[in-house]
Amino acid sequence: MVFNSDIFLFAFLPIVFVLFWTMRSKQSRYVIMTVAGYVFYGYWNWHFCFLLLFSSLVSFTAGNLMTRVRSGRAKRTIVALTVGTDLTLLGFFKYYDFLVRSVSSLLPGVHLPLLDIVLPIGISFYTFHTISYVIDVSAGRVRATRNLFEYLTYVSLFSQLVAGPIVRFRQIEEDLEHLDGPPREDWVARGIAFFVIGLIKKVMIADHIASDINPMLQHVGSMTVIEAWVAALGYTCQLYFDFSGYSDMAVGLGLLFGLRIPQNFNSPYWALGITDFWRRWHISLSSWLRDYLYFPLGGNRCGTAMMFRNLMIVMLLGGLWHGANWTFVVWGGYHGLLLVLDRIGTPFYTKLPRHVYQLQTFLLVVVGWVLFRSSTFGMALQWLRHMFVGPVGSLATVTHAAAWTAVALVIAATMPEAWEMRFGTSRRWAVLWGVLFVTTYFFMNGKESVFLYYQF
Amino acid sequence: MKFLRSFLASVAIIVLIYVTAVVIVNPRGEFPSRRFPWIIPNSRRVKVELFRAAMQSGPVRGIVLGSSRSMTLAPAALSAASSERFFNFAVFSSTIEDHLAILRFVIRSGAPLDNVIVGLDQDALAPGTPLRELTTNIDLATALRGESPTTVRRVMNWAQMVKAAFTPYYAANLGRSVDLAFAPEVPINVFGPDGSLRYVRWDAQIASGTYDGAGAFAECRRKQLELADTNAGHTLDSARTARFEELLRVADSVGAHVTVWLPPYHPALLQVLAARPPDQAALVALRTTVIELTRRYNANFIDLTNPAAFGAVDSWYDCVHYGDANAARIIATLIPVKR
């Protein structure tokens, strides 16, 4: 089920909303949210609900076990076993076939069976949820919950189950504890605003651009320089509006149910340097990688060389997290390298005029998205080559795509994130969001499209 | 929750206003209202209503099936040649599913059919899916499935039609229809009570010498070549071929004689297509299959792809749509067989 579908907007959401606010007790609301999460997830493939449940039960049990043991060694063992289980599941479902193909191409004599495994959507996200919970409990950053349904609500929260943001238990623990509170007018108003803004980003901008550039990318080999740039910039906008739109909708849905989901985007294309970019793009992932991978590796406390090594490891693994393809790994490595260069060159970069530094960062990110979008290295190299070499071509052949991309770029460069906007709770605001919602529906009616990050 | 109530109320009011406007303005002829002019009529919906009205004034014994390329065949001329009452049930962008659905609908409506004339476009049996206009037409969609329309299905269908109106394209049509009501202009086309189509605006422009024939031809050529490119490399679709055979079987079961014909291309387009081997191969495959099946069911087959086959004159709107003079010549070659 996707947020921009009739079944979600006109059946699932209203039913869950009414049931949730009709129930008074915290426990019944946990149960409603858990059931809703599993229905939402199972609508795609109910078999994988068992995997989600298993992963949740393992980490829930681990959390409770850790409250009973005192020795640090025992805790570490529990963490290792739980994280090992989670990563084994993730590794098997997401990376097994990828590994087999890679081994076969490297060692032609080795024949491992391909299993053609269907990737359970959202597994990358909920695995990170459960891992962060177990590590936080072991580190004493969060108290393990004894309420199974509270924990299941956290892991299976439909607003962020399949494509994030990657919410840590401690970030919504307080709201979960007060889930039996009455609805707050300002949260509901803000929730509707966030949801509608996210819907507009997805339907009216991201999907519109996608319909133009996807056909172009089927003929990467014959693109002109202008077409290659329009496609690259178009995808840059599509990805941002698609994913930040999804994140806004997730935040909005959370608020409708009394849960404050943290910010995931902060105008990333305004970033000053790659380090700054990663503080603004997919914030929940980059901060997760920082806290649960970069810091444990030593972070920047063990000297410059180790810091660079750590950055590279984190970004390579971050790239691999996005998908079982070497293009993602290389994309991660590319960003790791840019982070290293950013650290080295900071004294120089900070002397650059602000807009020049921003533009340089943006262009480096655009080049990275070419790798990210390409299904093969061949495609990426061809696309990159056509961006700089070959016939220049004419804008006339891609007028529509170029115009929409330009509009999207202007919006991305000038409009603040929903987080920075102030929304009122008056009737006028309600009417405004009503008008915008119906208008947006005109553009999505009959055209259900999934979010790009569902595939990760 | 005051804010939520205001939000939902505003959504409901906007939706209600829009739905009322859609039903009253009815820009595609899908609802009963006839107060505003149609913009790109839903030909399936319109023809079902016209056919029902025609049946009330006497039995229809012959029907014309096909796409816009068969729409200008005048039932009056066919009736004159056969002494039987004809109705032109050709619909825009028809597929083989449309032909079968319409035939079953006509039979279900109690028409004592003697003759069925099927204009089969060259891509009729290529892979593809039926248009939404067919699948959301309760009368034809149920006829295609061999079912009867129940009240529940009619309500669901109505809801589907209303929902389908929530698109920018439909809203633009709605606006244009209102606009035309206040500043009338000659419509592009008009359906007669016998289902035949007249391109009234184009006829008026041709008469006044203002018709952009070259532009229309170029645009039509582009679309036809695009369509040919889409179908290139595809063999005939087995499911669609089975639908075609089903059509012949159904007509045969009620004792109606079937004439299948391939509509003509403008000579200039024919020349272009002749130089494209995949298109020629597709045409040969279609012709072979149709000949074999029509023979099996004792039906007539007439290939008018080449306009020379019916002595075409220079009477064309574009590269595939012909004027009255050519329509008359085509009818002369399709004179139905009286049983």
pLDDT in tens, B21-41: 999 999 988 888 888 988 878
- What residues contact A427, with CB distance under 8 A and at least 6 apart? B3, B6
pLDDT at B336 over 60: no
How many Å lie between the alpha carbon of A260 and the closest alpha carbon of chain B?
18
Domains assigned to chain B: 48-156+182-333 (3.40.50.1110)
- Are both A66 and A196 inside the same structural domain? no
* Cβ-based burial of B120 (10 A; exposed 0-12, middle 13-18, buried ≥19): buried
Is A292 domain-assigned?
Answer: yes
Are B115 and B108 spatial neighbours (Cβ–Cβ below 8 Å)?
no
Q: A375-411: per-residue pLDDT in tens?
A: 999 999 999 999 999 888 888 889 999 999 999 999 9
What percentage of chain B exceeds 90 in pLDDT? Answer: 65
Are B310 and B330 spatial neighbours (Cβ–Cβ below 8 Å)?
yes
Is A83 domain-assigned?
Answer: yes
> Closest to B7 (Cβ–Cβ): which among A434, A442, A443?
A434
Q: B140-150: per-residue pLDDT in tens?
A: 999 999 888 88
- pLDDT bucket at B232, cuts 50 / 70 / 90: low
Residues A147-162: what's their mean pLDDT?
A: 93
Residues A421-428: what's their mean pLDDT?
A: 90
Is A100 domain-assigned?
Answer: yes
Question: Chain A contacts of B18, Cβ < 8 Å?
Answer: 438
- Are both A282 and A320 inside the same structural domain? yes
How many Å lie between the alpha carbon of A253 and the closest alpha carbon of chain B?
13
How many Å lie between the alpha carbon of A175 and the closest alpha carbon of chain B?
19
Rounded to whole angstroms, how far apart are CA atoms B106 and B91? 14
Cβ pair A434:B168 closer than 8 A: no
Q: B182-203: per-residue pLDDT in tens?
A: 988 888 888 999 999 999 999 9
What percentage of chain A exceeds 70 in pLDDT? Answer: 100
> Closest to B11 (Cβ–Cβ): which among A185, A427, A438?
A438
pLDDT at B148: 84
- Are both A151 and A282 inside the same structural domain? no
Q: Which of residues 6-25 of B touch A (CB under 8 A)?
A: 6-11, 13-15, 18
Residue ending a domain, choose from A182, A217, A249: A182
Question: Chain A contacts of B7, Cβ < 8 Å?
Answer: 192, 430-431, 433-434, 437
Is A404 domain-assigned?
Answer: yes
- Are both A245 and A128 inside the same structural domain? no
Q: Please give the mean pLDDT across all residues of chain B.
A: 91
Q: Please give the mean pLDDT across all residues of chain A.
A: 93
- Are both A204 and A154 inside the same structural domain? no
Is A199 domain-assigned?
Answer: yes
Reduced to 3 states, what is the DSSP secondary structure of residue B119?
strand
Cβ pair B14:A445 closer than 8 A: no
Are A265 and A403 spatial neighbours (Cβ–Cβ below 8 Å)?
no
Q: How many domains does chain A have?
A: 2
- pLDDT bucket at A21, cuts 50 / 70 / 90: very high
Tokens 């792809």 -> residue: B305
Cβ pair A438:B163 closer than 8 A: no
Q: Out of A2-6, A133-137, A263-267, A309-313, pick the least confident.
A: A2-6
pLDDT at A43: 92
Is A161 domain-assigned?
Answer: yes
Cβ pair B3:A445 closer than 8 A: no
Mutate to test the interface with B, among A21, A257, A427 (most CBs of B within 10 A): A427
- Are both A273 and A418 inside the same structural domain? yes
- Are both A391 and A256 inside the same structural domain? yes
- Are both A54 and A202 inside the same structural domain? no
- Are both A178 and A190 inside the same structural domain? no
The question of whether A282 is a catalytic residue gets the answer: no
Give the chain A residue nearest B1 (alpha carbons).
Answer: A185
Residue ending a domain, choose from A182, A216, A237: A182
Q: How many CB pairs under 8 A join A and B?
A: 56
Enumerate the β-bridge partners of residue A344: none
Q: Which of residues 158-177 of B touch A (CB under 8 A)?
A: 163-164, 166-168, 171
pLDDT at A440 over 80: yes
pLDDT at A300: 86
> Closest to B6 (Cβ–Cβ): which among A430, A443, A445?
A430
Question: Chain A contacts of B14, Cβ < 8 Å?
Answer: 434-435, 438
pLDDT at B338: 47
- Are both A196 and A256 inside the same structural domain? yes
Rounded to whole angstroms, how far apart are CA atoms B194 and B51? 8
Rounded to whole angstroms, how far apart are CA atoms A52 and A122? 9
- What residues contact B106, with CB distance under 8 A and at least 6 apart? B51, B60, B63, B89, B113
Cβ pair B11:A429 closer than 8 A: no
- Are both A226 and A91 inside the same structural domain? no
pLDDT at B234: 64
Domain holding A111, by residue range, is: 6-182
Cβ pair B18:A434 closer than 8 A: no
Q: A303-333: per-residue pLDDT in tens?
A: 899 999 999 999 999 999 998 899 999 999 9
Cβ pair B6:A427 closer than 8 A: yes
Cβ pair A192:B166 closer than 8 A: no
How many Å lie between the alpha carbon of A76 and the closest alpha carbon of chain B?
47
How many Å lie between the alpha carbon of B27 and the closest alpha carbon of chain A?
17
pLDDT at A221 over 60: yes
- Annotated active-site residue in A322, A335, A386, A400: A322
Cβ pair A442:B166 closer than 8 A: yes
Contacts of residues A432-437 at CB distance under 8 Å and 24 or more positions apart, as own/partner, are A433/A192, A433/A193, A433/A196, A433/B7, A433/B10, A434/B6, A434/B7, A434/B8, A434/B9, A434/B10, A434/B11, A434/B13, A434/B14, A435/B10, A435/B14, A436/A196, A436/A200, A437/A196, A437/A199, A437/B7, A437/B11
- Are both A154 and A233 inside the same structural domain? no
Is A255 domain-assigned?
Answer: yes
Residues B318-335: what's their mean pLDDT?
A: 91
How many Å lie between the alpha carbon of A43 and the closest alpha carbon of chain B?
23
| Residues in chain A whose Cβ is within 8 Å of chain B | 21, 183, 185, 188-189, 192, 425, 427, 429-431, 433-435, 437-438, 441-443, 445-446
Report DSSP state, residue B198. E
Reduced to 3 states, what is the DSSP secondary structure of residue B261?
strand
Interface ipTM = 0.88
Cβ pair A434:B11 closer than 8 A: yes
Rounded to whole angstroms, how far apart are CA atoms B155 and B25? 20
Rounded to whole angstroms, how far apart are CA atoms B136 and A421? 42
Question: Chain B contacts of A433, Cβ < 8 Å?
Answer: 7, 10
Tokens 């550039």 -> residue: A213
How many Å lie between the alpha carbon of B132 and the closest alpha carbon of chain A?
11
Note the helical H segments in B26-109: 43-56, 75-82, 96-108
Question: Chain B contacts of A215, Cβ < 8 Å?
Answer: none
Is A1 domain-assigned?
Answer: no
Cβ pair B166:A429 closer than 8 A: no
Residue ending a domain, choose from A163, A182, A201: A182
